[in-house]
A and B are shown apart, each in its own frame.
Chain A
Amino acid sequence: MSEKLYSYTALFNTPDEIIHAAKVITEKGYTKFDVNTPYPVHGMDNAMKLPPSKLGFVTLFAGLSGIILALGTMGWMMGIDYPNVIGGKPFFPLPAFIPITFEITVLLATLTTVSTLLFFFFKLPNNKHPLHDTNYIKNVSSDKYGICIEAIDPIFNEVQVKDLLNSLHAFVVEPVYFDKEELEYKPKITEPKFVALLVGVAIFVSISTYLHMNKLMYVTPFNWMEKQDKSIAQSPSKYFKNGSSMLKPVERSVARGFIPYQFKDKPDDAGKFLVNPLIPDNDNLALGKNKFNIYCSPCHGYLAEGDSRLRGQFPNPPSLHSEKVRNWSDGRIYHVIVEGQNVMPSYAYQLSREERWAVINYIRVLQRSLNAKESDL
């Protein structure tokens, strides 16, 4: 027997017969069987003793994921990542989130349910079923009632099943085999048909997109981003009254979290009133060392002795070990980093506030290293 058996099928004339047959077959302990009727037959579920569908769990899971996803992303973005007061509402305005949450929940639940049905229950990519194009399926889709016991049933025995079906007075009992061609067929990725399909789809999509956008909607389909709907800082704009597209912040306004530097041209006040908020520890000294070596060492040298690597191309930078700098407070050095001094430019844009204080902590380490106390030796 070279052909592989898929199932045994039997055809009946009346719905009563098929209900009876289903009951008997269930009692015998068969589980992998199916009943095919031209219309839903009442009582079939009971006769087949079908368990409730598990599809509901998939829907529940997808729906819950939708709720968590929607509330989680919105809550995280609006409440934690970028807390923003909108219309005086709290950072987690639950009522405002409900519509979106509902929609995402329904969307995810339905799409997941449908795709689960298609791909897991109906095994979608497999579009050739052995029952296709058999005498059996032609009959049950018109006026007959059929039952089909699959060969993968654990208690399947060809002779027994045949006898059983005959004993139920089926008027036709016949085996269904897998399509031999289908079984021997090995799909290849380079299958000419498949490649042709891909090419065809590509051509179709690009041409139809082009035609739709250009001929129907009068839009350039793709212009390599030559034209962009944005205003460039220096270009004119009709939107604002003064005709410029770049607007300066309102006078005296302060960006959130940014306090302006109050000691412009007042180095002594900076030295007196600015406190170094970083207590030197491993972390901020490592940060300070890193930033010092990147931004300060090219001029001041790795040991802050003023032995710059740019010597000869650049005016000599001072040593940071002079008595003057050693006696400066942290705030006074901070002032130099923020404002620059003489030839040195401001490093306010290169170093954040924390980094500046960390650099100062590291400078103190270098000063201690080259001007150690008696007790350190």
Chain B
Amino acid sequence: MQDDKNIETEINFKELVKSPSRLFGWIFPYYAVLFLIVGIYFIKHMDVTSFNSVPAIQTDSLTINVNVEPKKGGVLPAVDLKLILSPTNELIEKGKTLFKTNCASCHGDNGNGDGAAAAALNPKPRNFHQADGWTNGRNFSNIFSTLQKGVPNTGMIAYEFIPVEDRIAIIQFIRTFTDFPAVSDEEIASMDQTYGLSKGVISPSNIPIDVAEKKIEEENQQFISKVDSILAKVNLNSDAEVLNIFNNYVLDKKRVAEVFSRDFVQNKDAEIFISKIIVAPVANGFKPNIVELSKGELIKLYNVLSKSVS
């Protein structure tokens, strides 16, 4: 019975101060609430309170709206071919900047073939300091043609989209790494002959993407709008046999008419038509069992279709 303490005397604050560890039992719930409040505040204001340099929410690549400013194209002035023989310092400086932005990720800043992206590549990118093993050779014209066409089956793509003068600048910068074969006048002449360097480069015109979309849609509208008349003509032109083929071996008449009329503009060849059907009958609107038809029957089908389209 002595253990039955009065509840009033249970919380004795003087006792509490004497053994502070008991305070913890009371402080704990307050800390829990405090942590909760701080946590909620932190999550709600994450973009302000966190020290991350990367935003908590990444921009959705689908919401980015990129468009093209309309621009009239024209002919750029011809390239000064003297730059190939005797590069100016400015040109080499420009080549260095271009090399950094376009080439250094694979070839490395000093052209040792040790760029950051090189790890992923097989074969490894060219080390410009090495004299042997160049796929296209290391003459000026060879390097130029590599930039023009790329090297197939490697990470080296065609850099055709870089203006010619900039490409010359890049090559001139590469040639400062080590000794390269000297450039001869004939080499320049043959390069000029091959790539038309002195003629000047045509810079293309630009139009906004949605305009281009509309243009392409309009151009192809004819193939969609002509479908009904093509199908009507097929019925009119064909004898019983072809009509039978058309009704029994065609899955989607509309698609056949669309695809055929579009393709007929480029290819007027029965052989190719037959090969295309056999390659992907369903995608082109035919039933798979069309492959059972004989060549003669397919040619008849082609003739009726081409007659109906033209």
A residues sitting closer than 8 Å to B (CB atoms) are 257, 259, 262, 272-277, 279-282, 285, 290, 293-294, 297-298, 302-303, 305-306, 311-319, 321-324, 329, 342-343, 353, 361, 364-366, 368-374, 376-377
Contact = CB atoms under 8 A, between A and B. Distances in A.
DSSP majority for the A interface? loop
B216 A302 contact: no
Given A318-B150, A343-B121, 17 more contacts: A272-B275, A275-B284, A277-B283, A279-B259, A279-B262, A280-B217, A281-B220, A285-B213, A313-B117, A318-B157, A342-B153, A366-B212, A368-B216, A371-B204, A372-B207, A374-B205, A376-B211
Nearest to A364: B216
B62 interface: yes
B209 A366 contact: yes
Interface in B211-255: 211-213, 215-217, 220, 223-224, 255
Contact of B215 (A313, A324, A329, A376): A376
A314 B117 contact: yes
B161 A365 contact: no
The 8 closest A-B pairs by CB, nearest first: A318-B157, A369-B212, A302-B66, A315-B155, A368-B212, A371-B204, A372-B205, A372-B207
B102 A316 contact: yes
Contact of A314 (B102, B120, B206, B258): B120
Contacts of B112: none
B212 A259 contact: no
Contacts of A285: 213, 216-217
Contacts of A377: 70, 72, 205, 207
The residue among A302, A319, A370 with the most chain B CB atoms within 10 A of its own CB is A370
Contacts of B117: 312-315
A275 B68 CA distance: 29
A273 B282 CA distance: 14
Nearest to A357: B283
A274 B280 CA distance: 8
A365 B209 contact: yes
Nearest to B152: A342
A164 to B, nearest CB: 70
B272 A372 contact: no
Contacts of A371: 204-205
Given A279-B223, A315-B117, A376 B212 contact: yes
Contact of B106 (A276, A316, A319, A342): A316
Nearest to B207: A372
Given A262-B279, A272-B272, A313-B116, A319 B205 contact: no
A185 to B, nearest CB: 38
Contact of A279 (B72, B150, B158, B220): B220
B88 interface: no
A294 B263 contact: no
Given A368-B215, A376-B207, A277 B220 contact: no
A331 B215 CA distance: 22
Interface string B266-284: 1000001001100110111
B161 A305 contact: yes
Contacts of A297: 61
Nearest to A297: B61
Contact of B209 (A306, A313, A369): A369
B111 interface: no
Contacts of B61: 293-294, 297-298
B279 A274 contact: yes
B208 interface: yes
5 contacts: A280-B213, A294-B62, A369-B209, A372-B73, A376-B215
Contacts of A368: 207, 212, 215-216
B283 A353 contact: yes
Contacts of B204: 370-372
A274 B121 CA distance: 31
A316 B120 CA distance: 12
Nearest to B105: A312
Nearest to B205: A372
Nearest to A277: B283
The residue among A277, A290, A306, A318 with the most chain B CB atoms within 10 A of its own CB is A277
B285 interface: yes
Nearest to B222: A279
Given A272-B272, A273-B272, A322 B161 contact: yes
Contacts of B217: 280-282, 285
